[in-house]
Amino acid sequence: MEKPKDDQELAEEVRSSVDEAWPLFVDFLKKKQARVTQARKIVLRKVFSRHDHFCADDLAAELSSGLDHVSRGTVYRTLALMEEAGFVRVIRNTDGHAHYEHVFNHPNHEHMICDVCGEFIEFSDDRIAERIALACGQKNFAQRTYRIVVFGTCEACGR
């Protein structure tokens, strides 16, 4: 049973996610012989300051015009790194945009996307993961990750 989170709890969770994620990202960069830069820290912090899903371009827009300035190109490059590091997932909608979400402190879950309002609804089901693993075994396919998107109409829009 999970009670709704209030603002303070959310803020807490954000802080801890960034605090946990950053050192891990630093490790990842070092292992890769890449550099630990301000821009990368700013992008990571921004990504974890959001709870919802966001699209690359919006993030780039926000960061390329604020105080902690990071250029569009760098935002895209950093998001690619973060995906490689496994901190972030891409979900390609039917529109051309790349939607991202962070996966840190966030159990495996999939999405329903409402055709009408575009809302993302999360769900998860361990059984599905099992069946997918099974199918991969049968095809001798070494699974790295998978993505499920269900399209349809959400409760609010259906009424």
Binding residues for a copy of itself, per CB under 8 A?
Answer: 90, 92, 94, 96, 112, 114-115, 121, 123, 125, 127-128, 131-132, 134-136, 138-155, 158
Spatial CA neighbour of 105 closest among 83, 125, 86: 86
24-63 binders of DNA (CB under 7 A): 29, 33-40, 55-57, 60
Closest contact distance (angstroms) between CB of 43 and DNA is: 8
Closest contact distance (angstroms) between CB of 88 and DNA is: 13
Beta bridge partners of 102: 88
DSSP letter (8 states) at residue 97: P
CA-based Rg of the chain, rounded to a whole angstrom? Answer: 17
Which residues of the shown chain bind DNA in the complex (CB under 7 A)?
29, 33-40, 55-57, 60, 64, 69-74, 76-78, 80, 96-98
